[in-house]
Chains A and B, each alone.
Chain A
Amino acid sequence: MTEFTPYTSLAGGVLIGLAASLLLIGYGRVAGVSGIAGNLLLGKHGDRAWRGAFLLGLLLAGALVAWLMPEAVGTSPRSLASIAAAGLLVGVGTRLGSGCTSGHGVCGLTRLSPRSLVATLAFMLSGVVTVTLLRWLGGGA
């Protein structure tokens, strides 16, 4: 079981909120990672530079975290085959569903978007069901 970390989790949320606000107020963009990254691969050519810059920021954040607080980056308890399947599911699902935890869960809920509310409830519920089923099966995924 992982430790309950209310203060650092809230602080992380505040940082995410500030980043999303900078992107919206400064550049008029929604901080949805699946859309920003997916459309870097698949979107219009003239629209790619800022997406690349945002993703570079995410990667740099990861490098800084590995240096300053390496314990924050964990490994998945699942097998490599499961992680590969998980990646495919997340790719297909976020493309069909037009967003993920950041775009629907943070930015969409903030705008009180009914689409994002439904999407967030759907992926939360589905995640809970998946984890519960895997626990019943012995977690050997």
Chain B
Amino acid sequence: MIRAARHLAGTLVAGLLFGAGLAVGGMTDPRKVIGFLDVGGAWDPSLALVMVGAVAVHFVAYRWVRGSAAPLFADEFAVPKLRYIDRKLVTGSVIFGAGWGLGGYCPGPGIVSLGAGSRDALLFVLTMAVGWVLTAKFETWKPAPRKTTSELPGGGPAEVS
């Protein structure tokens, strides 16, 4: 019981830090996101530094934790191990990028902006959730023709990173 409460408190703090980082970094301003993607126009490269900072810090943590058998407060790691590249991955990512450039929101900043009371973000998050549900219901894309698909829990796109 205490363990479960600590688990939830810890993940809540992680979400809080994560959301603060998105806002401080500039990801919750759709104009800045669109400026970042407007490489041939009025380009604002700031958001590349968000990724540099995040990857640099997380890389150290990942190297440090990689050899351990289990996380500190849970029984096992749930890190995606898939390595294949298929059309579903690429097509999905291209569709996501189009939506990112169209609205100026990706999922994390959309949810943080919703918490800040943004009406645009409310519309974005609601339609994004519709997209998730519709895809889960109607998607019939065959798993990649590799044996590694057995690593997918439940055989579906379950452990989405």
A binding-site residues for B, Cβ under 8 Å: 1-6, 8-35, 37-39, 41-44, 49-50, 53-66, 69-70, 72-78, 80, 82-111, 113-116, 118-120, 122-132, 134-135, 141
Contacts and interface: CB of A to CB of B under 8 A. Distances in A.
B102 A115 contact: no
Contacts of B45: 4
A87 B96 contact: no
Chain B contact residues: over half helix, strand or loop, or mixed?
helix
A41 B111 CA distance: 14
A12 B48 CA distance: 11
A103 to B, nearest CB: 4
Given A16-B22, A22-B17, A27-B74, A129 B101 contact: yes
A69 B21 CA distance: 12
A119 B58 contact: no
A86 B139 CA distance: 19
A82 B102 contact: yes
Contacts, number: 542
A122 B161 contact: no
Interface string B10-45: 111111111111111111111110110111111011
Interface of B: 4, 7-32, 34-35, 37-42, 44-62, 64-65, 70-80, 82-85, 88-108, 110-118, 120-121, 123-136, 139, 141, 157-161
Given A17-B55, A88-B131, A131-B101, A61 B106 contact: no
A98 B89 contact: yes
Contact of A75 (B30, B56, B95): B30
Contacts of A22: 10, 13-14, 17
Given A17-B53, A74-B30, A87-B110, 11 more contacts: A12-B21, A13-B25, A27-B74, A63-B116, A77-B34, A82-B102, A84-B123, A87-B131, A91-B129, A92-B131, A126-B101
A58 B37 contact: no
